[in-house]
Amino acid sequence: MNNAKLIVLEGVDGAGTTTHSRELSRGLRAAEVQVHTTAEPSTGPVGALLRQALMGRFVVSSASGSVRPPNWTTMALMFAADRVDHCESEILPQLRDGVSVICDRYYHSSVAYQSITGGGPEAIEWIRDLNRYARRPDLTLVLDVPSEVAAERRARRRGEEIYDAEPLQERLCEFYSDLERHFPGEPIEHVDAVGSVEEVAERILARVKRLG
Ligand code: TMP
């Protein structure tokens, strides 16, 4: 890779974006590419609030006293706020220093999760617009796994999150299968993420190394 790139890994929960961000970083470092690994929600202040919301610990109470997670519009706005802060405080400074950035999830997750959890197809344009000033990735790789494989991997994970319900994850799988449809002109490619960690990591690294 000639100059610093922003590379995003995307997919449903259980697709392996976190494992493969780490593997990709290891592979690139071995090839002497300077790389910084990060994730969304970020470790910044809005990201911390989002983690609480994802775990069901930041809730909205109604007049009757019942509580629920913030709705999809609040979540879309918070994810967008976290993202611009993430870009400003971490992603852009690294890129300016000539360091490539691997980001585990980015605005594609907002378009997928926040449209499916309430906004519907008509919300996609608004969510994309909220993220208009976030740096475009040089490459986004969608890790493709059948929904049953992702479900098995999620079952091994500790702790529940508000987006864990099976029917929702199945709809997300379908959405991710043609994610590029919602981001015309963006470099988005799919990687078969079924196989051992080493096999999948090899596929991802080979694709990233082809970046000019
Ligand atoms: P993860 O750390 O396990 O990937 O969890 C992040 C969760 O947040 C995951 O369920 C996807 C969700 N999410 C959104 O709903 N919108 C977003 O914009 C991002 C970045 C993540």
**pLDDT tens, 139-163?**
999 999 999 999 999 988 877 899 9
pLDDT digits (tens, 9 = 90+) for 97-142: 999 999 999 999 999 999 999 999 999 999 999 999 999 999 999 9
Cα of 105 to ligand 1 centre, how many Å?
7
Cβ(5)–Cβ(185) under 8 Å? no
The type of residue at 187 is P
Rounded to a whole number of angstroms, the CA Rg of the chain reads: 17
Ligand 1 pocket list (CB less than 6 A):
13, 40, 54, 79, 105, 109-110, 113-114, 161, 163
Rounded CA separation 25/176 (Å): 23
First vs last Cα of the chain: how many Å apart? Answer: 5
Cα of 207 to ligand 1 centre, how many Å?
24
Rounded CA separation 109/113 (Å): 6
Cα of 30 to ligand 1 centre, how many Å?
29
- Give the residue, by CA position, lying nearest to ligand 1 atom 13: 109
- Helical residues (DSSP H) of 87-193, grouped into ranges: 92-96, 107-109, 124-130, 147-155, 166-177
pTM to 2 decimals? 0.97
Rounded CA separation 103/9 (Å): 6
- Out of 37, 40, 104, mutate this one to test ligand 1's pocket (max ligand atoms within 8 Å of CB): namely 40
* Domain 6-41+71-208, CATH among 3.40.50.720, 3.40.50.970, 3.40.50.300, 2.120.10.30: 3.40.50.300
